Amino acid sequence: MAWFYLITAGLFEVVWAWSMKMSEGFSRPLPTAVTLVAMVISFALLSISMRSLPLGTAYTMWTGIGAVGAFLVGITVLGEAVTPMRLLAAALIVCGLVLMKLSASP
């Protein structure tokens, strides 16, 4: 269950990153509220996953899921640039996440 909680926490990190962007500096109430709620859920699930996963593994996976997820939302939803260098950077993050998962204790 720890991995389920961790992956879900990472997905909520993507939600709060996107809604923070949509809040326009916390000047729009609904996106601001979504940001705050998603942050609390994300941190809570990360905390639960850390009960059984090592700190380095959990935190790296959480930030990596958030980073790659936010990158994908930026491209697909916000129309941000797709360049070879950005794609390579995201691929390297994913490779790091795979290696971290493979090296993690169960």
The one-character DSSP state at 77 is T
| Distance between CA atoms of residues 2 and 7, nearest Å | 9
The pTM (predicted TM-score) of the whole model is 0.89
Instruction: Choose among 77, 72, 16, 76: nearest CA to 8.
Output: 16
Can you list the residues of the chain whose pLDDT is less than 50? none
What pLDDT is stored for residue 101 in this prediction?
A: 85
Residue for token pair 């950005």: 86
Specify the amino acid at residue 7: I
